[in-house]
Amino acid sequence: MPSLNEYLMVSGLLFAIGFAGVLMRRNIIIIFMCLEMMLSAANLTLVAFWRFGGGNGMPADGYEAQVLVFFVIAVAAAEVAVGLAIIVALFRARCTVHVEDLNSMKG
Amino acid sequence: MSVLFYIFSAVMLVFGLMVVLNRNPVSSALSLVVSFLGLAALFITLNAYFIGVIQVLVYTGAVMVLFIFIIMLLDIKTEQRRELNYVAMGCGIIVVLALVSQLAILLGDFVPGNQQLATLPEEAAVHQDVKLVGEAVFTNFNFHLQLLGILLLVATIGVVVLSRRQGRADRSQE
């Protein structure tokens, strides 16, 4: 059976892949997708800690962790809607989704 | 069980890498769909059935459809042909390798993390999960649920305002 450390490592790797995407890609939509990936990796960590929270591989007593993950997913859905609306407004104003072209705030 | 864990985490990580490596945004988005399906399967291996189903419904169902819709609406094929930014790539790889090695060292010393996943008794495992999460949401976290509803309403109104005002400005410019 897999151990808690393996779940934590897998979610850490998913977070690292998302982080690499945010740092390396220049397309703002891909950056946003990588942000979603990092958020989901944090969710996986939460659920893994809940599942192992009772000790000896048994879950914790309450269901607060799953409620928290549920709230995080709902807030992420709202955030995606607003973020994509901002990206569409940005594209209409500047005709680009390439972050290196969006440097009008640069001093 | 163990084999399933390795299969689904491999699927999740490989398709997660494909999101970063693909040059075409549509292929990236479709890779992210598969990656999230692997993540939902991992939630189910952790006996969080409700969260797994919500992950499939909300992320791979609603959010990714929204992403693909926006990618196709903006038609950003021309963005593919750009030379790579080698400074950003090098820095990204260094920072990520530092993060992963630090995490590996940290988890090597984390003794409670060595416990193995134990099998739950049948009735607690399958039939009670959604019921118990629902009871927690609608009793202890009722106020937070109402707040969440208001948040979603505000987000909806914000999206409508964001898309409308821009349209009006365009018309006045013409």
Check whether domain A4-101 has CATH 1.10.287.3510, yes or no? yes
Query: Would the CB atoms of A8 and B110 count as touching at under 8 Å?
Result: yes
Crossing angle of helices A28-51 and B64-74, in 10° steps, is: 170
Domain encompassing residue B65: 1-81
- From first to last of its 174 residues, chain B has per-residue pLDDT tens of 789 999 999 999 999 999 999 888 899 999 999 999 999 999 999 989 999 999 999 999 999 999 999 998 887 765 556 677 788 889 889 999 999 999 999 999 988 888 888 887 766 656 678 888 888 899 999 999 999 999 999 999 999 998 886 555 555 554
Residue B121, token pair as written in the block: 């008794």
Residue A94, token pair as written in the block: 């500047």
ipTM over 0.85: yes
For chain B, say whether A53 makes contact (Cβ under 8 Å): no
Q: Check whether A38 has a pLDDT greater than 80.
A: yes
Residue B168 placed within a domain: no
Name the residue ranges covered by the structural domains of chain A.
4-101
For residue A42, what is the nearest residue in chain B, using CA coordinates? B39
If you count residue pairs, one on A and one on B, with CB atoms under 8 Å apart, how many are there?
243
Chain A residue numbers touching B116 (CB-CB < 8 A): 1-3, 57
CB B22 within 8 A of CB B63: no
A88/chain B closest Cα distance in angstroms? 8
Residue in B28, B116, B159 nearest the CB of A85? B159
Residue in A80, A89, A100 nearest the CB of B66? A80
CB under 8 Å to A65, separation ≥6 — which residues? A46, A47, A49, A50, A53
CB A48 within 8 A of CB A22: no
Q: What pLDDT does B174 receive?
A: 47
Q: Which of B59, B46, B63 is nearest to B120 (CA)?
A: B46
A10 backbone dihedrals φ, ψ, rounded to 5°: -65, -45
- Residue B35 C-alpha from the chain's centroid: 8
CATH code, domain carrying B28: 1.20.120.1200
Helix or strand or coil: residue A3? strand
Total domains in the fold of chain B: 1
Q: From the candidates A40, A43, A97, which should be mutated to test the interface with B, based on the most B CB atoms within 10 A?
A: A40
Residue B145 placed within a domain: no
